[in-house]
Amino acid sequence: MRTIIFTGLLSFLIMGCKPDSKKTIGSVERLDVALDNIISTDAQIEILAEGFVWSEGPVWVEAESMLLFSDVPKNTIYKWTEDKGAEVYLTPSGFTGTETTSREPGSNGLLLDTNGRLVLCQHGNRQMAYMNASLSNPKPEYIALADRYDGKKFNSPNDAAYRGKDLYFTDPPYGLPERENDPSKEIPFHGVYRATSSGEVMLVIDSLTRPNGIAFFPDNSTFIVANSDPGKAIWYRYSLGENDSIIHSSIFYDATENTKTESGLPDGLKIDMHGNVFATGPGGVWIFSSNGKVLGKIKLPVPTANCALTPDEKTLYITADKYLLRVKLR
């Protein structure tokens, strides 16, 4: 299939950009002195690799000292290491059939479960799944964690976060061949779901037009969902009660006006141990305090998709359009 044919050529082009090239891009915009405690004043935005179609879903794997990330249109996961740069890690990553008309069939968000397995948001297969192989010996063999709600196929699971053993994930239409009125679309809304370790799937939110990135605050009872809708480019904040139902919702930050002058929409996000939010959105990566105050931005000239923190939170990796980027943190 087309993805396989071009994998070798694309890998060659990507391998040409090694970490020691010292290429940089963009700038850091400081809007509050509190940002100095997060990013040093001389921080640079390093280009680690480039040549992708649309890079997404980064996750740092400490046990293997590698970053994994998706190229969604290419149906491929790449790994990046300090020694070798970027190279193909796993393909196919999101669609394992024989033919698709989707523009974005691959995996999107990636994360590790409590057992250290690689969990994938699979657009083409329309499911949440884990790779049935070790991280050091990857194979395109997948076992579904959630593939239906109320007997109906998901649209295209996009991003996810764990709360204990429960898996929360978003389900916009981006992986469908036609995002609007696609005949294969079985669920009429774009939901946020919770899948338990026993395989039960529950609807959490059905009111968002384009739910995308999702992340929990350190208290593990409050989370943010990014809405990737140009007309409602909003990060929403939700609080859970003892029975796992939503007891409060509010707008964390509304960036709708920013979409008129800057490229990109609220997309993937991560939250550090102090509650600081790193959220990709119009113009790059927005950095918020836990109460929604904008501390600064990592300004980028291309649409920005997602980001990942290392466990020590000293490094932020960013997937942006054709690039894989890195910013050293304090």
22 occurs within a structural domain: no
Amino acid 10: pLDDT:
45
Amino acid 5: pLDDT:
34
Q: Looking up tokens 């109460």, which residue turns up?
A: 291
Q: How far apart are CA 173 and CA 104, in angstroms?
A: 10
pLDDT digits (tens, 9 = 90+) for 172-225: 999 999 888 899 999 999 999 999 999 999 999 999 999 999 999 999 999 999
**What is the model's pTM?**
0.93
289 occurs within a structural domain: yes
Amino acid 12: pLDDT:
43
pLDDT for 20 beyond 90:
no
The answer to whether the beta carbons of residues 195 and 162 sit under 8 Å apart is no
Domain count, the chain: 1
Amino acid 242: pLDDT:
86
Containing structural domain, residue 167: 2-17+27-328
pLDDT digits (tens, 9 = 90+) for 48-97: 999 999 999 999 999 999 999 999 999 999 999 999 999 999 999 999 99
Q: How far apart are CA 53 and CA 6, in angstroms?
A: 12
The CATH number of residue 137's host domain is: 2.120.10.30
Distance (Å) of CA 305 to CA 89, 133, 200: 20, 27, 29
Backbone angles phi, psi at 63, to 5 degrees: -65, -25
Segment 268-286 mean pLDDT: 98
| Residues 6 or more apart whose Cβ sits within 8 Å of residue 242 | none
